[in-house]
Structure 1
């Protein structure tokens, strides 16, 4: 018996929702057909793509509209696993079938079995992959539409490795990359796993439009794993129906692969969370700018740590990919400008990212508050009265700067409020309430500090040192409470009991009670602002934006009388363990 080789591809495509003709160099070819052509040119006979690839997984309510159902792609000589909206018994379904029996199935090709899995099923307790493994499936596909979150890649890879370690086989994981049309940024990182080991792994949060990688894998290497006694015993009763298909992966050796050697495990590449803060939002922002043909972005630099982080994300976009710098003149509508230097990200930032900063006293006292005082006889003190002078100036310059440069269009105004400021109410009081987008709105100040420290070293920018010690305006230190409230779904009393276990050696029960009550009072008072929050790049599960991840009423009983009374009674009974914390115990703050 000869070697049974199959050519397995994986790819990540930057695709815009509802953009059915998204080929970067053709107005008549869809991005899906473009990827299929490249995959066939590389000799692959199986092609897997993310969920809802045809219309785009960010089309949201457009799945309910008839035009979305009319789109499709036609191909020959290649088995394609693509996602689209299909009507089944008058219900619009997110699925991967057209004429085969509706539901879960195992696909039987010439000489192997292919199982199909959706992204969400990777995280379910009773994973469909287990049933497919017992049905002797050798190639499993996962068509994902996974959005970026800090540290999420660790969980994703661990689950993929765990499944192939238990049941062996080949696992093809595909994912979109880039802004899909809303607050989410799919981070790509397509990969292939074989018997619990990762071989090719795509890049995470790449600014490239397309990445395609193929790997020749010997299916016979699965046999020592698939013939285990426990599997043979359970596989006698097949749990999934079979669907025959005369195309797809074959057990014969493709031309040019007669002497394929053993595949080599790949060293998995994980980005640090502070790296991800630069990569994910930069990718999301870049797609926003180029797809809406906006002339660049504008931010009002207050000299604080948040506007510093917002600015560094633009620098990351220009620093990470030379193609971004080369393509920038087309976005700026000056492709033939001889003065544009594409050799360095600094020039890119100057062109696409104008800023303003108040540096003199006369700049801190402009005509806007003077005009208000002339009309009302009231002199405004913006730090006291919660003014939005920064945003007024930012909106004005964003409209006028393209005119000054002799171009049409406008700049997008970027906000610089993080999670802490949103929960505290500073977002609606100060300089971020009227911004167009916000790249750091779902990130805590704790993570932003690490990002600035990383950028200072990685990009050799010593000036960032001065921002690390800047006084925070609305910082929640540490951010444990919003993890407990949002991620762990705990009420005020349960948050208090959890913090007593974590902080009890450092703070008295009464002080912890006051901190918890203050947090929930401020969160309730400012909850209405989260209903109309400036669209932010979603980067963490603790995001306060109620668009999807923090749904709840916007009118709360802000004093929580029942819960707070219970907290006070419990605090009075608990023993104060904070008097002598011990020399070996670290401080919380």
Structure 2
């Protein structure tokens, strides 16, 4: 029996903060050694941080990475343990089309010339570079970086036939709702049919951008998960250790005749021989790690924990003292409030479990003195979370009450502010300037007047939010500044159903990439599992902006204003982004999806209506508040949706094609109905005639 103890880790790295990153790397190595591991795997680009982006084009970044690696190699950190470190390197003049270049020379390993100061320090001029594996006396180990696992012909397939038993995947995989299963199925599939040990390491936390890296480092043996780290955590370093019996790998491979057949005629892969043994011999008191049940979170839990951990990292690393949220009492802003409350609960939980780093950060952020530290989530929320209900004459008592009750449940410092006086001043100023006073539509005004009056309220709220965030800490003798939180969801961004520079304009937005449907289910979950019972009533209320006057015969509703439902918006978003549909292909897809309920003409009208408003409002995405990324159809133009912001919103060519297809379906229907004696006439007054 060849026993091998391995360690992989979740690290909360920070792009371009080399001190922070080195501290976590060293901590993970120390813990791996203490656990008796002989292999330590860290995440991709762990030395620099993953999200450096165009900093990777700066030579300083590469230089600092080499300096950090030298520090690790010259110390005793790597003594007695095989370590995998992630960092960028430059070989010759090769670069990626943006940051990195894939290595394509698979025939043999190259000699990589070390930088001169590294060479002098290590007394070594070159190192083997390229595609290959390390052959130890008792096993073979190889690396497969991140996306290679998901490629059509992954390296591990060929390397397995060359005798590699242990694969190390250093990754930088970000969180998306319902994504973890795809990742884990890939690890399991990599070793289920060909045997092997698959080690996976990942970043965990916000490393400086919109992404949250969701950890879940794990070890898989012959298709079974034997060790799994957390997906959401406030810890800076989390180690995952497993004891492996490599003879189990050899046994499985020996039992698969097709594996033996293909291995006998394999293409030879280059290797580096290392005259060292990694394994221990059989010991009765040491047992291999057993298969375990995979831990998955529900989408509601992912919405609670992912953005909460992201907010905590952003808060403690930005130097801010807390958050301010315009809390309307509606579903979106209440979801954000609940996420902040969840963050406070997670901090208290980690402190209670003895995490000294979280405790130190909480003491600093909450401005505790005299040896005090937070022990209650509501008390902690009071120190770092302002909520503000900015009511107008158009606000209902119901939403005002819901905002107040939720704030009490979470523990935030809550304000109820009337903006009517400021709105009236703006309208009076306009009237003095132009001689005209705009009216709401329900009072006889035009659409232009109606929209203008709504936008005044929305933009006043944005100005008020930032004023309070900057001055309230001063009023309460608190040092620092507060970050303003936004609360527009992904569907509203896609439709453009938000005012440019209103409350959608904030410092950061934890729900900006989450759909309205997912937020509704989250509110139901959070009412029970986070203990904020008022969220159930908030979820049940119909979505409304409350920017128009309430009348006995009229109440403003979001879905009526938009001309489409939130459910429809989610469908449009996935077809447009994930399935890369333009107007015509979206129309065709929806004819199959909605055909039993709607006529082609109705579907065509819906598609045109969506693309009209999507393109009219696309410019709003250029100033969208940086949002936590959770949904793959996010319309944010910074990274996730690289499309222009000036469109011909009439889409003349595409809409004409849709009209032609609608007419074609009518003609085909006429032919069919004609053959049946003309029972149903095309173009009937009933839009669903014949369907």
TM-score between the two structures when normalised by the length of structure 2? 0.78
Partner of 2:179: 152
- Distance in 2 (CA, whole Å) between partners of 1:137 and 1:467 is 56
Contact 2:612 2:649 in 1 (8 A): yes
1:558-573 matches, within 5 Å, as 558-573=649-664
Contact 2:486 2:503 in 1 (8 A): yes
In structure 2, list runs of 5 or more residues that go unmatched. Answer: 104-111, 115-125, 352-357, 394-415, 432-436, 441-448, 544-557, 670-681
Does the residue aligned with 2:48 lie in a helix, a strand or coil?
A: coil
Is residue 2:397 matched to residue 1:332?
no
Q: 1:331-382: CA deviations, max 9, x gaps? A: 43522168x7733222222221111113575944444223323433246869
- Distance in 1 (CA, whole Å) between partners of 2:486 and 2:341 is 16
Partner of 1:487: 578
Answer 1 or 2: higher relative contact order, Cα 8 Å, separation at least 6.
Answer: 1
Question: Taking structure 1 as reference, are residues 36 and 413 closer, same or farther at Cα in structure 2, changes over 3 Å only?
Answer: same
Partner of 2:510: 439
- Distance in 2 (CA, whole Å) between partners of 1:46 and 1:538 is 33
- Distance in 1 (CA, whole Å) between partners of 2:328 and 2:423 is 17
Partner of 2:675: none
- Distance in 1 (CA, whole Å) between partners of 2:23 and 2:289 is 33
User: By how many angstroms is 1:95 displaced?
Assistant: 8.9
Partner of 1:373: 427
Partner of 2:58: 65
RMSD: 2.4
Partner of 1:16: 14
1:406-421 matches, within 5 Å, as 406-421=477-492
Question: Taking structure 1 as reference, are residues 101 and 427 closer, same or farther at Cα in structure 2, changes over 3 Å only?
Answer: farther
Is residue 2:587 matched to residue 1:554?
no
Residue of structure 1 aligned with 2:271, choices 239, 242, 247: 242
Does the residue aligned with 1:512 lie in a helix, a strand or coil?
A: helix
Contact 2:15 2:207 in 1 (8 A): yes
Contact 2:204 2:213 in 1 (8 A): yes
- Distance in 1 (CA, whole Å) between partners of 2:101 and 2:485 is 34
Partner of 2:343: 317
Question: Taking structure 1 as reference, are residues 136 and 445 closer, same or farther at Cα in structure 2, changes over 3 Å only?
Answer: same
Q: 1:306-345: CA deviations, max 9, x gaps? A: 001111111111223423684464343522168x773322
User: By how many angstroms is 1:414 displaced?
Assistant: 0.8
1:481-520 matches, within 5 Å, as 481-520=572-611
Contact 1:173 1:190 in 2 (8 A): yes
Contact 2:615 2:647 in 1 (8 A): yes
Question: Taking structure 1 as reference, are residues 510 and 31 closer, same or farther at Cα in structure 2, changes over 3 Å only?
Answer: same
Higher-Rg member (1/2): 2
Partner of 1:118: 145
- Distance in 2 (CA, whole Å) between partners of 1:383 and 1:446 is 28
User: By how many angstroms is 1:405 displaced?
Assistant: 1.8
Is residue 2:545 matched to residue 1:545?
no
- Distance in 2 (CA, whole Å) between partners of 1:293 and 1:215 is 38
1:97-136 matches, within 5 Å, as 99-136=126-163
- Distance in 2 (CA, whole Å) between partners of 1:231 and 1:348 is 58
- Distance in 1 (CA, whole Å) between partners of 2:285 and 2:645 is 65
Q: 1:548-580: CA deviations, max 9, x gaps? A: 221111111211111111112222333599558
Contact 1:83 1:95 in 2 (8 A): no
Question: Taking structure 1 as reference, are residues 451 and 220 closer, same or farther at Cα in structure 2, changes over 3 Å only?
Answer: same
Residue of structure 2 aligned with 1:82, choices 80, 85, 100: 85
User: By how many angstroms is 1:459 displaced?
Assistant: 2.0
Question: Taking structure 1 as reference, are residues 33 and 492 closer, same or farther at Cα in structure 2, changes over 3 Å only?
Answer: same
In structure 1, list runs of 5 or more residues that go unmatched. Answer: 24-28, 582-589
- Distance in 2 (CA, whole Å) between partners of 1:67 and 1:192 is 35
